Amino acid sequence: MRGLILSGGKGTRLRPLTYTGAKQLVPVANKPILWYGIEAMVASGIHDIGIIISPETGDQVRALTGDGERFGARIRYILQEEPLGLAHAVQIARPFLRDGNFAMYLGDNLIQTGLETLVHRFESAQPEALILLKRVANPTAFGVAELDAQGRVQRLVEKPKQPPSDLALVGVYLFSHLVHKAIDAIRPSARGELEITDAIQQLIAMGSRVESVELTGWWLDTGKKDDLLEANRIILDERTHCPMAGTLDSGSKISGRVCIGSGTRLVRSTVRGPVTIGDDCQIEDTYIGPYTSIAGGVQLKNVDIEHSVVMEGTRISDAGRIVDSLIGQRTVIARHTGKPEAHRFLLGDDSLIEL
């Protein structure tokens, strides 16, 4: 079985951050979101992986992720010139997928459970498609599945005004080669895209067996700031291994699960976990609170920060209190005048903020 991970699109819901980078490369617990999907596939026994990339961010994805050796995988990059839908991504990946079974994973999604159980179920039951579903409180915002008494999928409806169920489609799918025939039979939707829900519905119309598995653990679509911060919180909460390679002076204190990278130095600072701090950071007279990820090369001085993600090379000084923030690479936040207050930021790469 081969794998297909989607890492294209324009990431409009995370702008301005995604004007200069792929949303799938935004870090969660100091690891690009995309890498969680790659690791999940490798853990399930899938080692040949195709990654769909866009013209705008494809070079970044390729440069950071590489040929897959670090994951124990073989990665091929497939360019999608325009974001014409998930089914279109499958269509252009057909030379890579050939006529075999494959798993498809949306690169900005995170799920609690791995893919091993899904792959085993698919290979054992041999349906033409197996989809992952999750009960949600707001099904009108999702593609929704209607099941029969045996749990087989009868109908899919995209963002219905009157949902037939509360079972939303999670961004994980397993298909046989027949999905290519189904995609060839559908037409673009009203928004001009080849929808994967239409392709699955076409499989059903062709008499193919489409089965489902209900996800009981958490599922996060990290396409928005608050969802990404929640993903960061959950991953940090569940993380068990925290290396301590940096140094602390006698005036610094840490408590809880705290990871500190090599070359990082804390001076007169306090860190309350769960927190992860990357390599070569300089942290002085600073409080770092729970559910915060600090990437490599960051400088923090005289600031309180918690429940936030700070990306590489950022410098923050005398900025008061920062909460619930997503701060892009190489950003500079410095106090100019006035009294420190609490701030919330969504900042793209290379921003400059004077407070």
* DSSP H helices in 167-325: 178-185, 196-205, 225-238
Place of tokens 């670090």: 70
| Residue-level pLDDT at 241 | 72
Q: What's the sign of the alpha-carbon dihedral 194, 198, 199, 205?
A: negative
| Residue-level pLDDT at 1 | 93
| Residue-level pLDDT at 248 | 93
The torsion of the CA quartet 156, 162, 165, 169, rounded to 10 degrees, works out to: 40
Look at 217 and 67; give whichever has higher pLDDT.
67
| Residue 143: exposure state from Cβ atoms within 10 A (0-12, 13-18, ≥19) | buried
Q: How far apart are CA 15 and CA 182, in angstroms?
A: 34
Q: Averaged over 45-63, what is the pLDDT?
A: 92
Backbone φ and ψ of 90, nearest 5°: -65, -40
CB 260 within 8 A of CB 275: no
pLDDT at 345 over 80: no
pLDDT at 243 over 90: no
Per-residue pLDDT of 76-126, as tens digits, reads 999 999 889 999 999 999 999 998 999 999 988 888 778 898 999 999 999
| Residue-level pLDDT at 12 | 52
Q: How far apart are CA 167 and CA 220, in angstroms?
A: 15
The torsion of the CA quartet 142, 19, 317, 338, rounded to 10 degrees, works out to: -80
Domains and CATH numbers, the chain: 2-236 (3.90.550.10), 241-354 (2.160.10.10)
pLDDT at 347 over 80: no
CB 125 within 8 A of CB 139: no
Whole-prediction pTM: 0.86
Say how many residues make up the chain: 355
70 falls in which pLDDT band (50, 70, 90)?
A: very high
CB 51 within 8 A of CB 60: no
Look at 179 and 219; give whichever has higher pLDDT.
179
| Residue-level pLDDT at 150 | 77
Q: Residue 274's closest CA among 306, 252, 303, 304? A: 306
| Residue-level pLDDT at 179 | 96
pLDDT at 340 over 60: no
Instruction: Say whether 18 sits in a helix, a strand or coil.
Output: helix
The overall longest dimension of the chain from CA atoms, in Å, is: 70
Backbone φ and ψ of 280, nearest 5°: 60, 40
Look at 66 and 12; give whichever has higher pLDDT.
66
Instruction: Say whether 67 sits in a helix, a strand or coil.
Output: coil
- Write down the mean pLDDT value for the chain: 88
Strands 315-323 and 292-294: what pairing? unpaired
Give the pair of three-digit tokens for residue 79: 């360019």
Q: How far apart are CA 258 and CA 69, in angstroms?
A: 28
Residue 174 bridge partners (DSSP):
103, 130
| Residue-level pLDDT at 276 | 94
pLDDT at 8 over 80: no
pLDDT at 158 over 90: no
Q: How far apart are CA 232 and CA 68, in angstroms?
A: 24
Please give the share of the chain, as a percent, with pLDDT higher than 70: 89
Q: Averaged over 313-328, what is the pLDDT?
A: 90
CB 94 within 8 A of CB 180: yes
Q: What's the CA angle centered on 4, arms 3 and 5, to 5 degrees?
A: 120
Give the pair of three-digit tokens for residue 98: 């050939």
| Residue 138: exposure state from Cβ atoms within 10 A (0-12, 13-18, ≥19) | exposed
Per-residue pLDDT of 286-315, as tens digits, reads 999 999 999 999 999 999 999 999 999 999
CB 251 within 8 A of CB 268: yes
pLDDT at 171 over 80: yes
Backbone φ and ψ of 336, nearest 5°: -100, -60
Give the pair of three-digit tokens for residue 293: 């990820």
